[in-house]
Structure formats: C-alpha cells, structure tokens
C-alpha cells in the first residue's frame, strides 16, 4: 500500500530521468502527485525550483527545498526510507562502482558526437559490471531491483524505440548476453513495466526534442 509523504514530482512524459525517479518512488511505495512540465514552454514552477539547470525531474517533499537531478533524488529517497526496498548496494565498493557507472552513463547522454561508438563501449562495460554486481542473480541489485537497475532501466523504453526507428540495438544478444537477459527481467517486473512510457509518448517526446536539439549527423528523422 503506497504511503503519502506529501511528495510531488515535476516531470515530462518521455524523460528517462523522470522515469528513473518514478521507478524509485514505485519501489519505495511512495504516493506522489505528478505535475506535467511543458519543456517547450517552461513553467514558473520549473524556473523557480531549478533555476540553475531548468531541467526535470524536480522532487518536492513537503516544506523542504526542491531537489533536482535524478541521481540526487534517488539517493535522497533511499536515505529518507532506508528500510523500504533499499536501492543502493550495502557494500561500499559495490556502491562506489555503481555510482561511478551511473555518472559515466549520464555523461554519455551529454555527448552529441560518436554517440553510437560510446554507447557500444558503455554497454560492454555494463555487461562486465553486471557479472560482478549481480552475483549471478537477475538484477544489478541481486534478487531485487537496485540502483543501477533503475539508472540503466530508465532507458529501456528508449532502447526499444531506437531499435524500432533506427534499427540500432543498444543491447545486443551477442555483445551483451547478460544485459539482454537482464532487460527481459526488467520488462517483466511489475514496478518497471508499469512505469516505462509507451512508444507513443517516446515518439512525442522525440519530436519535441528534434525541435530544439542539434541532430546527430546520421540520425534519420521519423515522419
Ligand atoms: N542530469 C539530469 C538530466 C535531466 C534532463 O536532461 N532533463 C531533460 C528532459 S530528459 C530536461 O529537462 N531538459 C530541458 C532542457 O534541457 O532545457 C538528471 O539526471 O536529472
């Protein structure tokens, strides 16, 4: 049963960083109010609550200051409710490794050039990390969905979408057999399946992004 801690999430439908926070809220069984942001016409609420970056997600918790940046929000939620579905690994070395990979993955999303090569290299790195961190279990977090499952899993809808429109498999059965299996476990998990946005939401978000982001040179524009 979800509990009400007076939380509100400012987000935008197809944003993987927002999906990430929704996963964490779901796993922690936290009830929240979702406020839809129009990134093409940013609201006062966004500009006031995250003036420096002007990006979603932003989490509001009762009368506390708003919290921005998905990774910071997830760590906040984990510290706020440490006993309900712990997210970060308990082992300090695994925790450091997971945080490093999270920052590394997010640094890739900032890159515009050689993105395809970097994604492939990143997927190989994650394949190796999975072998170590999962300890032979279904998730990075072991038996349960953990920090890296959330951080990487938020891209699963986009990975599927990119496969459909560009024919580019970010996770490849031959290159990343463990990650491919992990992807299936994630898609079949209720907490993630119910949160991953639909293809239609991805398409709408993608079209909105095309309006104000420079394109990768080899990116075909969908109709
Ligand atoms: N590092 C940030 C990234 C958030 C981000 O890039 N959000 C995008 C939507 S996917 C956004 O709000 N973009 C608005 C803008 O760049 O002006 C996080 O992890 O929260």
Q: Choose the residue to mutate in 16, 17, 23, 70 for probing ligand 1, maximizing ligand atoms within 8 Å of C-beta.
A: 17
Ligand 1 pocket, residue 70 CB under 6 Å: yes
Nearby residues of 108 by Cβ (< 8 Å), 6 or more positions away: 115, 118, 119, 122
How many Cα atoms occupy the beta-carbon half-sphere of 1 within 13 Å? 2
Other residues' Cβ atoms within 10 Å of the Cβ of residue 33: 11
Element (H, E) at 33: strand 30-36
Distance CA 149, CA 8 (A): 23
How far is C-alpha 170 from the chain's CA centre?
15
Distance CA 53, CA 39 (A): 12
pLDDT of 214: 55
Ligand 1 atom 5, closest CA: 55
pLDDT of 223: 42
Quote the CATH superfamily of domain 3-80: Glutaredoxin (3.40.30.10)
Handedness of CA 6, 60, 155, 201 (dihedral sign): positive
Ligand 1 pocket, residue 12 CB under 6 Å: yes
Which residue from 22, 2, 1 is spatially nearest to 11, judged by alpha carbons?
A: 22
Residue 157 has which token pair?
């809808």
Per-residue confidence of the chain (223 residues) as pLDDT tens digits?
889 999 999 999 999 999 999 999 999 999 999 999 999 999 999 999 999 999 999 999 999 999 999 999 999 999 999 999 999 999 999 999 999 999 999 999 888 788 889 999 999 999 999 999 999 999 999 999 999 999 999 999 999 998 998 898 999 999 999 999 999 999 999 999 999 999 999 999 988 888 766 555 455 444 4
Ligand 1 atom 15, closest CA: 55
What residue segments make up the domains of the chain, in order of their start?
Answer: 3-80, 92-212
For domain 92-212, the CATH class is: mainly alpha
Class of residue 111 by CB neighbours under 10 A (exposed 0-12, middle 13-18, buried 19+): exposed
Distance CA 145, CA 192 (A): 9
Ligand 1 atom 16, closest CA: 55
| Distance in Å, CA 137 to ligand 1 centroid | 32
> What sections of 28-133 are H helices per DSSP?
44-49, 70-80, 92-109, 115-133
pLDDT of 34: 98
């Amino acid at each position: 049963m979800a509990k009400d801690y007076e939380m509100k999430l400012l987000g935008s439908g197809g944003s993987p960083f927002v999906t990430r926070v929704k996963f964490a809220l779901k796993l922690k069984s936290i009830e929240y109010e979702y406020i839809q942001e129009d990134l093409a016409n940013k609201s006062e609420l966004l500009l006031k609550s995250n003036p420096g970056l002007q990006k979603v997600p932003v989490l509001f918790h009762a009368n506390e200051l708003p919290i921005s940046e998905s990774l910071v929000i997830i760590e906040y939620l984990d510290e706020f409710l440490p006993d309900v579905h712990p997210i970060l690994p308990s082992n300090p070395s695994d925790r450091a490794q997971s945080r490093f990979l999270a920052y590394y993955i997010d640094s890739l999303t900032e890159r515009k050039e050689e993105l395809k090569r970097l994604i492939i290299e990143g997927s190989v790195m994650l394949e190796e990390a999975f072998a170590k961190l999962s300890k032979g279990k279904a998730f990075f977090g072991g038996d349960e969905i953990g920090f890296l499952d959330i951080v990487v899993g938020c891209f699963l809808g986009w990975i599927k979408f990119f496969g459909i429109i560009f024919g580019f498999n970010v996770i490849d059965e031959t290159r990343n057999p463990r990650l491919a299996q992990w992807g299936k476990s994630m898609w079949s998990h209720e907490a993630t399946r119910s949160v991953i946005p639909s293809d239609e939401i991805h398409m709408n978000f993608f079209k909105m992004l095309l309006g104000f982001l420079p394109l990768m040179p080899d990116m075909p524009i969908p109709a």
